[in-house]
Amino acid sequence: MKILAPLNDINYLEKFIVAGADEFYLGFYDNSWFDLFGKYSDINRLSGFAKYSNKYNFFQMIDVVKNIKDRGYTVYVTMNANTYGKDQIDYVEKNYLPYFIEAGVDGIIISDLALAKKIRDYNMPVIASTMCAVYNSDIAKVLQTMGIERMILPRDMSLDEIGLICRQTPSIEYEVFFMRNGCVFSDSFCLGMHGPGYESLCVLSRNCMKKIYTTCNERDKVELNDHLYNARFHNDACGMCALYRLNNMKIGALKIVGRVDNPDAICSDIEVTRKNLLLLEQCTSESDFLNKIQIPCQTVKTCDFGFSCYYPEVRF
């Protein structure tokens, strides 16, 4: 399994490589795009956070890509906004694709199938983002007929289901969410605006004044459930304990999430993931692995009850 890491600062490339990353993904901003299509037309899912999440403009990003390729590593570019209009797809074809190809980008992470089709017309690989909602093997097979051979499975899936999909579609390479930034909703269908001036729905739903209407007489259970959901669930997320099972499923890549996160923290996650992958090679069983596993330091104190687990069914 490969470790896929977000890169938002070229100064961390060497550190991430030494820590053990195999692949990288990054985004970019382009003022010309926003001038042409308006401020609500995202280039990628994090465009709303502007340069905080997309530090480099398009040509700077291309230079970063070339840097990564010169080092012999794999790099993907994200174009996974909710949706793209026809004019935007034409813009990508004319203004971005030639540079992606020339720089040697290994693939484009896409959300929109029309954009995927356009990119595939140039024989460039595409990776189906979690925005493509590959929740079952039927959907995966349809996307595969479009030439999409690598897919990111949604966060809100159990290990059993991931395993089932892998067995049903063994020729597809799957990437799973592995470290950082849990989400209470589905990436694929969370359509609130992300960015300054808009409070994300997950934050709003936890912190907003609300009324609960119920015919149930168990107020204590409803309140406890509400409190745990708001205060504890997926404030962070870690999938380290699932490594043994993911390896058995022949998962292709482990995604460390967080283009806006502290790069030192990401580096630390890459290191501990690499150490546990090496440990995996020596373990003869899952219990052997779980006894020896190194837990990422920031999640040790949040490991109780599985609220910070991507795959809590391993321990709970």
x/- track of binding to another protein for residues 20-59 (CB under 8 A): ------------------x-x-x-----------------
Q: What tokens were used for 160?
A: 């059993």
Which of 95, 136, 247, 268 touches another protein (CB under 8 A)? 136
* Site residues (CB under 8 A) for another protein, limited to 251-310: 305-307
* Site residues (CB under 8 A) for another protein, limited to 151-170: 154, 156-158, 160-161, 164-165, 168
Q: Which is nearer to another protein, 8 or 88 (CB)?
A: 88
CB of 99 to another protein, least distance (A): 23
Q: What tokens were used for 178?
A: 């592995």
Q: Is the dihedral of CA 172, 19, 79, 118 positive or negative?
A: negative
Strands 150-152, 2-6: pairing is unpaired
Number of residues near another protein (by CB under 8 A): 79
Q: Which residues fall within 8 angstroms of residue 215, CB to CB, at 6 or more apart?
A: none
Contact yes or no for 140/169 (Cβ under 8 A): yes
Which class for 278: exposed (0-12), middle (13-18), buried (19 or more C-beta within 10 A)? exposed
Segment near another protein (CB under 8 A); pick from 10-18, 150-158, 271-279, 288-296: 150-158
Contact yes or no for 116/136 (Cβ under 8 A): no
Residue in 129, 124, 176, 172 with CA at minimum distance from that of residue 150? 172
Does 231 bind another protein (CB under 8 A)? Our answer is no
Q: Which is nearer to another protein, 63 or 87 (CB)?
A: 87
Q: Which is nearer to another protein, 26 or 131 (CB)?
A: 131
Contact yes or no for 91/53 (Cβ under 8 A): no
CB of 144 to another protein, least distance (A): 11
* Site residues (CB under 8 A) for another protein, limited to 52-111: 82-86, 89, 111
* Site residues (CB under 8 A) for another protein, limited to 174-193: 183-186, 188-193
Contact yes or no for 156/134 (Cβ under 8 A): no
Which of 2, 117, 120, 275 touches another protein (CB under 8 A)? 117
